[in-house]
């Protein structure tokens, strides 16, 4: 009898370890032929070939990160280290909530709000939630679902070459004020809220904006 109980307990333990291991390694989705298929939130996104996508480990409100492969660099700012370059990036976040889009928007932009259970995760992930300004509000259809679009910009300092300081012992660079620009999208489908964060350097906004719109046209909800 004791042997049977021992074997049963060992079986339960092995199943528990297996489930825990699976939970730790499960990803937010998979990529097939430049299409990201979310494993939880029932949508898929077909993206352009000159963008690369990285999924995340569950559990995560951040579902995927897209970064442009062949991006432009401001030659005037060639003193920048590679880490200072703002690569065109799209962040996809999703969560389940009872809040409406308007309620979620208000809670997202108010730092003290407790209505969003994991608001700190949004603040740490999304650049446009700190030190930014809203330039314009508009609408965009995402697979026939209306999305609130906030055009935003965020200032930062960058070092550029200064030809008048070639003999300066402190260096030939000077600091100027610049900004990144992009969009924050909010929309809801069923009980799920979706937050899309797109950003790039202002000098290259035109081309990157067009590619972002094409990528969003590849969004499809799965029934």
* Domain carrying residue 91: 30-221
pLDDT tens readout for residues 54-108:
999 999 999 999 999 999 887 665 555 444 678 999 999 999 999 999 999 999 9
- Is-contact 65 53, C-beta < 8 A? yes
The verdict on residue 18 lying in a domain is no
Q: Which residue has the higher pLDDT, 27 or 120?
A: 27
Q: What mean pLDDT is reported for the chain?
A: 85
Over range 39-53, report the average pLDDT. 97
pTM: 0.83
Instruction: Collect contacts of 161-164 with beta carbons under 8 A, ≥24 apart.
Output: 161/76, 161/77, 161/78, 161/79
Helices (H), 79-204: 101-109, 119-125
Looking at the domain assignment, is residue 4 inside a domain?
A: no
Is residue 97, in this structure, part of any structural domain at all? yes
Helical (H) or strand (E) element with 154: strand 145-161
Can you give the CATH number for the domain in which 216 is found?
3.40.1000.10
Q: For 111-124, write each residue's pLDDT tens digit.
A: 767 889 888 889 89
Q: Is residue 5 one of the residues assigned to a domain?
A: no
59 preceded by a cis bond (ω within 30 of 0)? yes
Q: Which of 12-26, 102-116, 144-158 is most confident?
A: 144-158
The pair of three-digit structure tokens given for residue 124, joined into one six-digit string: 């740490």
Q: Which residue, 92, 74, 79, is CA-closest to 202?
A: 74
Q: Which of 26-40, 102-116, 193-207 has the lowest mean pLDDT?
A: 102-116
Specify the number of domains making up the chain.
Answer: 1
pLDDT band per the 50, 70, 90 thresholds, residue 165: low
Whether 19 is in a domain gets the answer: no
Task: Grade residue 45 by pLDDT with cuts at 50, 70 and 90.
Answer: very high
Asked whether residue 24 is assigned to any structural domain, the reply reads no
With respect to residue 199, please indicate whether it lies within any of the assigned structural domains.
yes
pLDDT the model gives residue 7: 41
Confirm whether 14 is domain-assigned: no
- Give, in order, the Cα–Cα distances in Å from 145 to each of 70, 170, 221, 222: 31, 54, 10, 13
With contact defined as beta carbons under 8 Å apart, do 176 and 84 qualify?
Answer: no
Q: What is the C-alpha to C-alpha distance for residues 107 and 173, in angstroms, rounded to an integer?
A: 41
Closest CA to 44 of 56, 52, 32: 32
């Amino acid at each position: 009898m004791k042997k049977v109980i021992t074997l049963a307990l060992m079986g339960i333990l092995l199943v528990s370890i297996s489930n825990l291991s699976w939970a730790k390694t499960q990803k937010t989705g998979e990529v097939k032929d430049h299409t990201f298929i979310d494993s939880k939130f029932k949508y898929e996104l077909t993206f352009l070939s000159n963008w690369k996508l990285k999924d995340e480990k569950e559990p995560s409100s951040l579902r995927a990160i897209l970064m442009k492969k062949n991006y432009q660099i401001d030659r005037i700012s060639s003193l920048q280290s590679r880490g200072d370059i703002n690569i065109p990036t799209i962040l996809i976040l999703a969560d389940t909530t009872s809040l409406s889009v308007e309620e979620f928007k208000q809670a997202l932009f108010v730092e003290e709000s407790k209505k969003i259970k994991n608001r700190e995760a949004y603040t740490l992930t999304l650049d446009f939630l700190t030190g930014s300004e809203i330039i314009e509000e508009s609408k965009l259809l995402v697979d026939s679902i209306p999305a609130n679009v906030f055009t935003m910009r965020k200032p930062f300092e960058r070092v550029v070459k200064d030809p008048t300081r070639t003999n300066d012992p402190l260096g030939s660079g000077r600091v100027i004020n610049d900004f990144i620009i992009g969009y924050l999208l909010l929309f809801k489908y069923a009980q799920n809220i979706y937050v899309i964060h797109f950003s790039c350097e202002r000098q290259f906004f035109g081309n990157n904006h067009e590619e972002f719109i094409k990528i969003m046209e590849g969004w499809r909800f799965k029934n």
